[in-house]
Amino acid sequence: MFETNDTFIEEAVKSKETSSEKTQKIACIIATIIFLLGTLLTWGVFKIISVVLFMIFAILTYIILGNKNIEYEYDYTNGSLEIAKIINNEKRKKVVTVESSELKMVAAVGTNESLKFDHVQLKTYDCSAHNDEVKDYILVAHSEAKGNDFKVIFNPSEELLNAMKRYNKRDIYL
């Protein structure tokens, strides 16, 4: 019968909130409350300034609090890895695409292979779960379109790593 050698793997990783994101949310809420009180307790020019700042921080707080459910979707098709960010199960935004020809290295964070790129200043895409129970991996690639190297921090499964190894045997360190 008809047989195909196509590889397609799709995974979703739910991201936990980092401590800096929690700090941002708390700071925005506090600033909104302070400027709300400023609008109620001041007069004249100070009241106008407080109203404007209250509106700005209220909108900013609404936006920050609205982005609380973040997932990353890893789609691997025949040597091409596409990572997308999904916000609140509504909005999908492509983060990065890596072709097998652009791939330089994939290794677990903390291994000798990944430590080579620890202190190198590269554009970094953090597409990980921020979960201590899941092993983080670093992917380093070169973009011909941008003309520079970049790295991606992500949480692939064994199935995804094995599929990537089929296309880049020497560049995947399990």
Tens of pLDDT, residues 109-118 = 989 988 888 8
Single out the residue of 138, 161, 168 nearest to residue 151, CA to CA.
Answer: 138
What is residue 4's predicted lDDT score, i.e. its pLDDT? Answer: 61
C-alpha distances (whole Å) from 115 to each of 84, 90, 126, 138 are 26, 36, 17, 10
Give domain status of residue 51, yes or no.
yes
Residue 11 has pLDDT above 50, yes or no: yes
> How does pLDDT run across 15-67, given as a tens digit for each residue?
988 888 889 999 999 999 999 998 999 888 999 999 999 999 999 999 888 87
Give the residue-averaged pLDDT of 85-100. 91
Tally of domains within the chain: 1
Residue 29 lies inside a defined structural domain of this protein: yes
Q: What percent of the chain has pLDDT over 90?
A: 56
Q: Give the per-residue pLDDT at 105.
A: 93
Residue 153: the pLDDT is 94
pTM higher than the cut 0.75? yes
Answer yes or no: is 124 within a domain: no
Using 50, 70 and 90 to split pLDDT, how confident is the model at 127?
very high
In a domain, 146, yes or no: no
Average pLDDT, the chain: 89
Q: Does residue 41 belong to any structural domain of this protein?
A: yes
Look at residue 3 in the predicted model and tell me its pLDDT.
52
Domain of 36, in residue numbers: 19-66
Whether 112 is in a domain gets the answer no
Return contacts of 77-86, CB within 8 angstroms, 24+ apart: 77/6, 77/7, 77/8, 78/6, 78/7, 78/8, 78/167, 79/7, 79/167, 79/168, 81/139, 81/164, 83/125, 83/127, 83/152, 83/154, 85/127, 86/12
28 domain-assigned: yes
Q: What six digits make up the tokens of 104?
A: 């330089």
For residue 53, is it within any domain? yes
